[in-house]
Structure 1
Amino acid sequence: MDAVVHTTLASFDAATHDRLAADPVCNTVALTSLDRIRRLPATAEPPILITFHDNGEVVGSLIRTPPWPFQVADLPVAAATLAVQVAREIDQDAPGVTGPRQRSHAFATAYAEASGETFTESLATRLYRLGTLAPPTTVPGAGRMATEDDAELLGAWRAAFVAEAVPEGPDEHPAEVMRTSLRLGNGHALWELDGTPVAWAAASIPQAGMTRIGPVYTPPEHRRHGYGAAVSAMASQWALDQGAAEVLLFADLTNPISNSIYQRIGYQPLDDWAEYWWKR
Structure 2
Amino acid sequence: MRPDAWHLTEDIDEFLSHANDFLCSRPALHTMQLTVLEKLRTRGADAYGGAGTVVGRLERAGEVGATFYRLPSGGLGVTPLTPEQAGTLAEHLVALGHCLRSISADHNTATAFAEAWQRHAGATPTLRVRLHLYRLGTLTPPEPFPPGRGRLAGEPDHEHLMRWCREFAEDVGEAVSIDAASWDGTRFAEKRYTFWETPDGTPVSMAGLNPMVGGQVRVDPVYTPAHLRGRGYAGAVTVEVSRAARAAGAKEVVLFTNAANPTSNALYRRVGYRPITDWAAYDFAYGTP
On whether the aligned pair clears a TM of 0.5, the verdict is yes
Q: Could you give the per-residue CA deviations for residues 241-279 of structure 1, whole angstroms, max 9, x where no partner exists? A: 110111111111111010111111111122111111113
**Hey, what's the Cα distance between the residues in 2 that align with 1:197 and 1:86?**
50
Match in the other structure for 1:235: 241
**Hey, what's the Cα distance between the residues in 2 that align with 1:103 and 1:25?**
16
For 2:197, what is the secondary structure of its paired residue? strand
Match in the other structure for 2:193: 188
2:41 to 38, 43, 48: 38
1:274 and 2:277 equivalent? no
1:19 and 2:26 equivalent? no
1:119–1:183 Cα change, 3 Å: closer
For 1:224, what is the secondary structure of its paired residue? coil
1:258 to 258, 264, 267: 264
Residues 33 and 65 of structure 1 are in contact (CA less than 8 Å); yes or no, is this contact kept in structure 2? no
Residues 213 and 235 of structure 1 are in contact (CA less than 8 Å); yes or no, is this contact kept in structure 2? yes
Q: Which moved more, 1:58-67 or 1:222-231?
A: 58-67
User: Which protein shows a greater Rg?
Assistant: 2
Q: CA deviation at 1:200?
A: 1.1
Q: CA deviation at 1:153?
A: 2.1
1:132 to 114, 138, 141: 138
Q: TM-score, normalised by structure 2?
A: 0.87
**Hey, what's the Cα distance between the residues in 2 that align with 1:278 and 1:25?**
27
1:80 and 2:83 equivalent? no
1:218 to 217, 220, 224: 224
Q: Which moved more, 1:199-208 or 1:75-84?
A: 75-84
1:182–1:148 Cα change, 3 Å: farther
Q: Could you give the per-residue CA deviations for residues 34-55 of structure 1, whole angstroms, max 9, x where no partner exists? A: 1112111263234220122334
Match in the other structure for 2:165: 158
**Hey, what's the Cα distance between the residues in 1 that align with 2:84 and 2:185?**
40
Q: CA deviation at 1:179?
A: 8.9
1:173–1:180 Cα change, 3 Å: closer
Residues 81 and 107 of structure 1 are in contact (CA less than 8 Å); yes or no, is this contact kept in structure 2? yes
1:171 and 2:171 equivalent? no
Q: CA deviation at 1:115?
A: 2.0
Structure 2 stretches lacking a partner, 5+ long: none
Residues 102 and 282 of structure 2 are in contact (CA less than 8 Å); yes or no, is this contact kept in structure 1? yes
Residue 154 of structure 2 aligns with an amino acid whose one-letter code is T
Residue 145 of structure 1 aligns with an amino acid whose one-letter code is L
Q: CA deviation at 1:162?
A: 2.1
Residue 141 of structure 1 aligns with an amino acid whose one-letter code is G
Residue 146 of structure 1 aligns with an amino acid whose one-letter code is A
For 2:44, what is the secondary structure of its paired residue? coil
Q: CA deviation at 1:142?
A: 2.1
Structure 1 stretches lacking a partner, 5+ long: none
Match in the other structure for 1:144: 151
Q: CA deviation at 1:174?
A: 5.5
Residues 165 and 178 of structure 2 are in contact (CA less than 8 Å); yes or no, is this contact kept in structure 1? no
Residues 130 and 246 of structure 1 are in contact (CA less than 8 Å); yes or no, is this contact kept in structure 2? yes
Residue 41 of structure 1 aligns with an amino acid whose one-letter code is G
For 2:131, what is the secondary structure of its paired residue? strand
Q: CA deviation at 1:109?
A: 0.7
Q: TM-score, normalised by structure 1?
A: 0.89
Q: Which moved more, 1:66-75 or 1:152-161?
A: 66-75
Q: How many residues align?
A: 276
**Hey, what's the Cα distance between the residues in 2 that align with 1:213 and 1:269?**
14
1:135–1:74 Cα change, 3 Å: same
Residues 151 and 178 of structure 1 are in contact (CA less than 8 Å); yes or no, is this contact kept in structure 2? no
- RMSD over aligned Cα atoms: 2.3
Q: Which moved more, 1:45-54 or 1:196-205?
A: 45-54
Q: Which moved more, 1:269-278 or 1:34-43?
A: 34-43
Residues 154 and 178 of structure 1 are in contact (CA less than 8 Å); yes or no, is this contact kept in structure 2? no
**Hey, what's the Cα distance between the residues in 2 that align with 1:258 and 1:95?**
28
**Hey, what's the Cα distance between the residues in 2 that align with 1:74 and 1:149?**
42
**Hey, what's the Cα distance between the residues in 2 that align with 1:42 and 1:274?**
26
**Hey, what's the Cα distance between the residues in 2 that align with 1:112 and 1:149?**
48
